[in-house]
């Protein structure tokens, strides 16, 4: 591997910061060796962090961002190996023995993981996690009591003033609270650097904003170096001084947050920015990046983005392009950046074009009506102290023919429960559901014909395309099975199946494949095709894009918009993501603790929310500007 | 609140277990009528034809003139206080035989159990930590050998090497006094333990491997926690949850193993008693041994569940269905 990173540029960059680099990563290369086969995971990462600085590593899944974080702390999983240098206080961490590294972890460099639900030991009380970290600092003279007092103080620092939290087990706390406990435990020995690996991805939007604001304030009061790893460019821009854009194991662009946001200097960064659905307006079509993320190993010897880049030319595939210095301490790994810079700028400006008006809301014939639906999940029988949980507290809504309606809310709002009631996966405790003239409150009480008619009228798309397709069956089998119960009968199933695939933008050759050979976006397309097989009038889509990468999410959102135009199908879009909702629906119902708190046309609700909860949701949508985190939650 | 929840849980389980014991006892009692021959023949046996008085005594004792149901309730009432009648072979009360024979078996079982736990769990941890190394492979290979060789085979090997060739341990008998017992029962316990170590080692290894991949282990290491704390406080504690479940399974293995081992080493324990009883069609003794074993298995399973609650707070607080 010939990798020529421009050292001159690096020094300049560091000089611009608050002094010499606290952490200096150069030529970090991570490879896996499993069964004698070597694969590249990260093919050359450079990163510098000054004291008190926040840098962001932005990348989609498979970019190698998490492995970079773990390599810095010497915590790579077995079978993965790092080469290059990671300098901290004059020592190359990659050469340190495990014993010395262990002494450094937590004391010099801390780490927070993505999932607060799995980060804490389920068998230990929350306070013990912090005390465990503290005990590593001074085992000798401090007693348990002192550690405990200190743990309570640390919890207060992360905004938990209730001392009883220290005595609770992780499973008794919400995700946001667990994340706070995790942050307190990670910072208990006051490390100089904190690596935060997608710290808020698993949290609700409002909690995400609070957690990020907390991290930011802890970072600035301690003048701690923060490496924030995220897939969300908006979050990186609002939190970080500088950003590193990573794609399929290669570093593609480096620059200050302001500069990169103002003018991306790599086609991939541009693509990411354009794929991001704007929360403030609707665009007629999102500019998606074609194709799917390549495996790092497949593109280790060329520009990692070349397979998906519309400006690709022969030099892009001749070798791995090095990061080249540009003005203003910026770096880009695009070999053609000088030629295409103008075009990138134009595309960026074109995407800023004014909003597309939301379709006129002619009162359509109602297709589905939900009236005062309540759903109580019974507590387990015979167990004292656990009452039923009320998921829906009397919800009413209406979906017109061909209309696209969103059900918006955070986890626990009851939005998924309502969606499942509509397709008969749950039966409401009380209240009425009518779909296309059929009473659908209790699928079990329907006649066979009525139930069959309902199943043809309503279909569901699930959140996780990795579990919603049967891995044992080929795509063709799955589609033919769905077609057989459809209105078209059983003639020429293969032809109909290929048509379905074509409709969702997949080649007919996929009929023979198994789900395992498909990417997440492709699987979701198949799931949509399967739902379309019975020619439904209403599709209940439960967070259909939240498990997908941003660049793929845009493709699927465009598909949803196109299908509605072509088939006139109505959507009930269940989502926590207001930016996504903005792009695909006409009307919004905001659900909070099982009640609709606000509803109306999407523009009115999102531009001028009346209910405080809606306002909080709107304010929680990540924005690129620095004021996002300082604003009121 | 918590204590009352625990008591309620144990109460519920005990009620369920009582029902289970009733069902088992019904099956065990039915043995008398299921075995070929009339109940009198079964309960008297012997080569000489019994005297009419003897038959009458038996009919009286087992209420053979009354209905099946009344025979059963009568039998259960006596069994509940440990009275299983008289042994056909020796004419002694079954209860006395059980008492005498239980002591060496209990000693053997506990001894083997200690060996299993103190060897199986550490070896399992070691194999997991040294995954894919020679140590791991050796430990797994040993456990495969242990589980595939029946206790009487390993027992004979051990006998030959340590008792015959080296002469370190006695070859048979149960010895007297604690030290004597320890010395006499070391080889049998070892033979018995070898079959039990395999599953415990495997469960520990798998549980540990799974646990070591968890985020909370990475997070613990990232905070600089000592290796011992990460391995035992975070790793083993979580990994042991499935191992405890294997406790009931282990008991089954040890019980069947004990029968074979006692015969191999001529230990006058419950296993030997059972074999003798079966050979002699000594139904009252078979019934006694069966009921005693069933009760033991059920009690150990209850203890496992309670232990579970103490280890895993999620179960204690009713988050996961117990």
User: How many percent of chain A have pLDDT more than 90?
Assistant: 52
A118 contacts in chain B (CB < 8 Å): 214-216
Most confident of A252-261, A352-361, A485-494: A252-261
Answer whether B215 sits within 8 Å of A113, measured CB to CB: yes
Residues A503-518, buried b or exposed e (16+ Cβ, 10 A)?
A: bbbbebebbeeebeeb
User: Residue A4's pLDDT is what?
Assistant: 39
Interface of A with B in 153-182 (CB under 8 A): 169, 171-172, 182
Q: Give mean pLDDT, residues A439-466.
A: 89
Give A123 to chain B, closest Cα distance, Å. 6
Q: How far is the alpha carbon of A193 from chain B, nearest alpha carbon, in Å?
A: 12
Instruction: Look at residue A434 and tell me whether its pLDDT is greater than 60.
Output: yes
Average pLDDT, chain B: 82
Residue B131: phi and psi, rounded to 5, are -50, 140
Tokens of A141: 């003279």
Cα separation, A236 vs A248, whole angstroms: 18
Q: Please tell me the distance from the alpha carbon of residue A612 to that of residue A592, in angstroms, as a whole number.
A: 11
Residue A317, token pair as written in the block: 């595939």
Q: What is the DSSP letter of A298?
A: G
Q: What is the pLDDT of residue A591?
A: 94
Among positive and negative, which fits the CA dihedral A184, A232, A410, A608? positive
- β strands within A217-300, DSSP E: 225-230, 242-247, 250-256
Are B223 and A133 in contact (CB < 8 Å)?
yes
Nearest to A132 among B225, B311, B319 (CB): B225
Of A121, A169, A380, the CB nearest to B216: A121
Contact B225 A113 (CB under 8 A): no
pLDDT digits (tens, 9 = 90+) for A374-425: 998 875 544 444 456 788 999 999 999 999 999 999 888 889 999 999 999 9
Q: What is the mean pLDDT of residues B212-222?
A: 92
pLDDT exceeds 70 at position B13 = yes
Residues forming beta bridges with residue A26, ordered by sequence position = A85
Q: Give yes or no for a contact between B212 and B220, defined as CB atoms under 8 angstroms apart.
A: no
DSSP, res A38: E
The CA distance from B297 to the nearest CA of chain A, in Å, is: 26
The answer on pLDDT for A261 being more than 80 is yes
pLDDT higher than 50, residue A334: yes
Q: How many CB atoms lie within 10 A of CB A193?
A: 20
Which of A78, A186, A384 has the CB atom closest to B223's CB atom?
Answer: A186
Contact in structure between A427 and A443 (CB atoms under 8 Å): yes
A105 vs B213, B223, B311: nearest CB: B223
**pLDDT at residue B200 above 50?**
yes
More confident residue, A510 or A138: A510
Q: Is the pLDDT of residue B153 over 90?
A: no
Give residue for tokens 């299983």.
B84
Q: Please tell me the predicted confidence (pLDDT) of residue A186.
A: 94
Tokens of B144: 């495969």
Q: Which residues contact B291 (CB under 8 A, 6 or more apart)?
A: B24, B25, B28, B79, B84
Interfacial A residues in 580-619 facing B (CB < 8 Å): none
For chain A, say whether B137 makes contact (Cβ under 8 Å). Answer: no
Tell me the two tokens of residue A583: 């792009």
Q: How confident is the model at residue A462 (pLDDT cuts 50, 70, 90)?
A: very high
**Which of B223, B307, B318, B319 is the best substitution to test chain A (most A C-beta atoms within 10 A)?**
B223
- The secondary structure of residue A367, as a DSSP letter, is E
A518 φ/ψ angles, rounded to the nearest 5 degrees: -110, 150
User: What pLDDT was estimated at residue B54?
Assistant: 75
- Give CA–CA dist A451/A457, Å, rounded: 10
- A195, A227 contact by CB (below 8 A): yes
Contact list in B for residue A130 (CB cut-off 8 A) is none
Contact A25, A14 (CB under 8 A): no
Q: What six digits make up the tokens of A550?
A: 């941003």
Contacts of B12 in chain A (CB under 8 A): 382
Report the top-level CATH class of B102-281.
Answer: mainly alpha
Query: Tokens representing B316?
Result: 């204690």
Cβ <8 Å between A73 and B222: yes
Half-sphere exposure of A240 (CA within 13 A, CB side): 30
Kindly state the tokens that stand for B40: 């009198």
pLDDT tier for residue A19 given thresholds of 50, 70 and 90:
low
pLDDT of residue B189: 87
Note the pLDDT of residue A6: 40
What is the reported pLDDT for A104?
Answer: 92
And the tokens for A459? 């279909």
More reliable by pLDDT, B276 or B86: B276
Instruction: Please state, in angstroms and rounded to a whole number, the distance separating the CA atoms of residues A240 and A625.
Output: 10
Are A136 and B215 in contact (CB < 8 Å)? no
Dist. CA A171–CA A217, nearest whole Å:
27
Q: How far is CA B229 from the centre of its chain?
A: 33
Task: List CB contacts (< 8 A) between A389 and chain B.
Answer: none
The answer to whether A108 and A96 are in contact (CB under 8 A) is no
pLDDT at B292: 87
Confidence of residue A138 (pLDDT cuts 50, 70, 90): low
Cα distance from A584 to chain B (closest Cα, Å)?
A: 36
- Return the exposure string of B18-57: e unless at least 16 CB atoms fall within 10 Å of the residue's CB, then b: eeebeebbeebbeebeeeeeebbbbbbeeeeebeeeebee
- Tell me: pLDDT of A7 over 60: no
The answer for residues whose C-beta is within 8 angstroms of residue A126's C-beta and 6 or more apart is: A120, A155, A165, A166, A167, A168, A169, A170, A173, A181
Per-residue model confidence (pLDDT) at position B321:
38
Could you tell me the two tokens for A609? 């929310």
Tell me which residue has tokens 């309960």. B43
By CA distance, what is A171's nearest residue in B?
B314
Q: Can you say how many angstroms the Cα of residue A494 is from the centroid of all Cα atoms in its chain?
A: 36
> Are the Cβ atoms of B219 and A186 closer than 8 angstroms?
yes
The mean pLDDT value of chain A amounts to: 87
Q: Give the residue-averaged pLDDT of B125-141.
A: 87
For A254, A261, A354, A624, the CA distances from A257, given in Å and listed in that order, are 9, 6, 25, 9
Instruction: Spell out the domain ranges in chain A.
Output: 261-353, 366-378+395-465+540-630
- CB nearest B221 (choices: A75, A119, A169): A75
pLDDT tens digits, residue range A187-233?
999 999 999 998 888 788 888 998 999 999 999 999 999 999 999 99
User: Do A105 and B233 lie within an 8 Å CB cutoff?
Assistant: no
* Distance, CA of A406 to CA of A241 (rounded, Å): 36
Interface of B with A in 205-244 (CB under 8 A): 213-216, 218-227, 229, 233-234, 237-238
Torsional class of A211: left (φ above 0), alpha (ψ -120 to 50), beta (otherwise): alpha
ipTM (interface pTM)? 0.82
The two tokens of residue A303 are 């520009």
Q: Are A112 and A195 in contact (CB under 8 A)?
A: yes
Judged by CB atoms closer than 8 Å, whether chains meet at A121 and B220 is answered as yes
Which residue did the predictor score with more confidence, A533 or B303? Answer: A533
- Give the phi and the psi of residue A44 in degrees, each rounded to 5: 145, 95
pLDDT of residue A142: 58
Give chain B positions within 8 Å (CB) of A78: 131
Give the minimum alpha-carbon distance from A121 to chain B in angstroms, rounded to a whole number: 5
**A366-378+395-465+540-630 maps to which CATH number?**
3.40.50.300
Tokens 């004990």: give the residue.
B258
Q: What is the mean pLDDT of residues B120-148?
A: 85
- Can you give the residue ranges of every domain in chain B? 2-80, 102-281
Q: Is the pLDDT of residue A81 over 80?
A: yes
Within chain A, what is the greatest distance between any pair of CA atoms?
82
Residue B171 has pLDDT above 80, yes or no: no
Q: What local confidence, expressed as pLDDT, does residue A380 receive?
A: 52
* Among A75, A78, A382, beta carbon nearest to B222: A75
pLDDT in tens, B299-315: 888 888 888 877 888 77
State whether A171 and B317 contact (CB < 8 Å).
yes
pLDDT of residue B74: 84
Output DSSP code: residue A409: -
Of the candidate ranges A218-222, A502-506, A577-581, B40-44, the one whose mean pLDDT is the lowest: B40-44
Q: Are A127 and A148 in contact (CB under 8 A)?
A: yes
Mean pLDDT of A286-313: 87
Give pLDDT, residue A477. Answer: 93
Q: Which residues 41-100 of A are in CB contact (within 8 Å) with B?
A: 70, 73, 75, 77-78
Coil vs helix vs strand at A276: coil
pLDDT for position A363: 67
Cβ-contact A94, A86 below 8 angstroms: yes
Triad B111, B117, B123: Cα angle to 5°: 130
Percent of chain B with pLDDT over 90: 8
Contact A202, A235 (CB under 8 A): no
Distance in angstroms (rounded) separating the CA atoms of residues B80 and A120: 48
Cβ-defined contact of B223 to A70 (cutoff 8 Å): no
Q: Tell me the pLDDT tens digit for each residue of B66-103.
A: 788 888 888 888 888 888 887 877 878 888 888 888 88
SS3 A537: coil
Residue A34, strand partner residues: A37
Best of A103, A121, A187 to disrupt the B interface (most B CBs within 10 Å) is A121
| DSSP 8-class letter at B76 | H
């Amino acid at each position: 591997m010939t990798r020529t990173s421009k050292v001159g540029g690096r020094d300049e960059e560091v000089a611009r910061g608050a002094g010499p680099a606290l952490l200096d990563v150069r030529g970090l290369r991570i490879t896996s060796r499993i069964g004698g086969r070597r694969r590249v995971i990260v093919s050359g990462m450079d990163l510098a962090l000054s004291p008190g600085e926040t840098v962001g590593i932005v990348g989609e899944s498979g970019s190698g961002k998490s492995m970079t974080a773990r390599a810095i702390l010497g915590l790579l999983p077995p079978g993965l190996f790092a080469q290059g240098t990671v300098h901290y206080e004059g020592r190359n961490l990659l050469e340190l023995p495990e014993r010395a590294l262990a002494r450094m972890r937590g004391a010099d460099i801390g780490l927070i993981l993505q999932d607060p639900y799995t980060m804490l030991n389920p068998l230990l009380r929350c306070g013990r996690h912090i005390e465990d970290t503290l005990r590593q600092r001074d085992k000798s003279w401090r007693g348990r009591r002192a550690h405990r007092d200190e743990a309570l103080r640390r919890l207060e620092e992360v905004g938990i003033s209730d001392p009883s939290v220290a005595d609770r087990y992780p499973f008794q706390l919400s995700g946001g609270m667990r994340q706070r406990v995790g942050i307190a435990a990670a910072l208990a020995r006051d490390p100089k650097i904190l690596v935060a690996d997608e710290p808020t991805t698993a949290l609700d939007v409002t909690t995400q904003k609070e957690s990020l604001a907390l991290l930011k304030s802890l970072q600035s009061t301690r003048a701690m170096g923060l490496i924030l790893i995220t897939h969300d460019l908006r979050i990186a821009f609002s939190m970080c001084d500088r950003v590193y854009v990573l794609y399929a194991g290669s570093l593609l662009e480096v620059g200050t947050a302001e500069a990169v946001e103002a003018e991306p200097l790599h086609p991939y960064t541009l693509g990411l920015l354009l794929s991001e659905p704007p929360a403030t307006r609707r665009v007629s079509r999102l500019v998606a990046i074609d194709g799917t993320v390549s495996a790092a190993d497949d593109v280790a010897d060329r520009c990692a983005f070349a397979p998906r880049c519309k400006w690709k030319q022969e030099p892009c595939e001749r070798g791995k392009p090095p990061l080249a210095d540009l003005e203003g301490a910026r770096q880009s790994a695009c070999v053609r950046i000088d030629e295409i810079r103008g075009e990138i700028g134009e595309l960026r400006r074109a995407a800023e074009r004014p909003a597309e008006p939301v379709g006129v809301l002619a009162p359509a014939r109602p297709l589905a009506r939900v009236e005062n639906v309540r759903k109580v999940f019974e507590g387990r029988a015979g167990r004292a102290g656990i009452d039923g949980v009320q998921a829906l507290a009397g919800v009413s809504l209406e979906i017109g023919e061909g209309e696209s309606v969103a059900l918006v809310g955070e986890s626990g709002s009851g939005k998924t429960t309502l969606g499942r009631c509509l397709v008969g996966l749950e039966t409401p405790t009380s209240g009425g559901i009518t779909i296309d003239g059929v009473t659908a409150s209790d699928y079990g009480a329907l006649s066979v014909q009525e139930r069959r008619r309902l199943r043809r009228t309503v279909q569901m798309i699930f959140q996780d395309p990795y579990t919603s397709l049967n891995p044992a069956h080929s795509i063709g089998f799955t589609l033919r099975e769905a077609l057989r119960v459809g209105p078209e009968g059983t003639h020429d199933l293969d032809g109909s199946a290929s048509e379905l695939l074509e409709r969702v933008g997949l080649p007919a050759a996929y009929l023979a494949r198994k789900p395992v050979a498909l990417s997440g976006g492709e699987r979701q397309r198949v799931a949509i095709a399967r739902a379309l097989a019975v020619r439904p009038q209403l599709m209940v889509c439960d967070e259909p894009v939240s498990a997908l990468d941003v660049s793929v999410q845009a493709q699927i959102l465009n598909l949803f918009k196109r299908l509605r135009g072509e088939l006139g199908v109505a959507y009930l879009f269940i989502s926590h993501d207001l930016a996504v909702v903005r792009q695909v629906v006409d009307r919004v119902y905001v659900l909070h603790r099982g009640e609709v708190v606000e509803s109306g046309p999407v523009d009115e609700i999102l531009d001028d929310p009346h209910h405080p909860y809606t306002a909080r949701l709107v304010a929680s949508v990540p924005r690129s500007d620095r004021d996002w985190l300082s604003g009121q939650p | 609140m918590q204590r009352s929840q625990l008591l309620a849980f144990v109460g519920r389980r005990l009620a369920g277990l009582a029902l289970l014991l009733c069902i088992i006892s019904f099956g065990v009692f039915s043995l008398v009528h299921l075995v070929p021959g009339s109940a009198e023949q079964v309960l008297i046996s012997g080569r000489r034809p019994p005297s009419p008085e003897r038959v009458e005594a038996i009919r009286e004792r087992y209420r053979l003139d009354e209905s099946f149901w009344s025979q059963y309730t009568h039998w259960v009432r006596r069994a509940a206080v440990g009275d299983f009648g008289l042994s056909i072979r020796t004419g002694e009360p079954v209860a006395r035989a059980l008492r005498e024979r239980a002591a060496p078996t209990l000693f053997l079982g506990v001894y083997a159990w200690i060996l299993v736990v103190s060897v199986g769990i550490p070896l399992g941890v070691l194999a997991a930590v040294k995954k894919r190394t020679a140590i791991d492979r050796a430990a797994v290979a040993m456990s495969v050998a242990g589980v595939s060789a029946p206790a009487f085979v390993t027992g004979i090997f051990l006998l030959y090497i340590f008792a015959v060739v080296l002469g370190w341990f006695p070859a048979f008998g149960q010895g007297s006094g604690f030290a004597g017992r320890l010395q006499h029962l070391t080889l049998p316990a070892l033979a018995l333990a070898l079959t039990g170590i395999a599953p415990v080692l495997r469960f520990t290894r798998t549980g540990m491997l799974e646990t070591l991949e968890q985020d909370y282990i990475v997070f613990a290491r990232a905070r600089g926690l000592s290796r011992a704390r990460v391995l035992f406080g975070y790793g083993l504690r979580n990994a042991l949850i499935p191992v405890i479940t294997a406790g009931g399974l282990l008991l089954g293995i040890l019980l069947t193993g004990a029968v074979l081992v006692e015969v191999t080493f001529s230990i006058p324990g419950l296993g030997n008693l059972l074999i003798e009883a079966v050979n002699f069609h000594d139904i009252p003794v078979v019934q006694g041994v069966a009921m005693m074993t069933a009760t033991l298995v059920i009690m150990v399973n209850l203890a496992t569940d309670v232990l579970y609650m103490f280890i895993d707070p999620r179960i204690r607080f009713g988050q996961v269905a117990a």
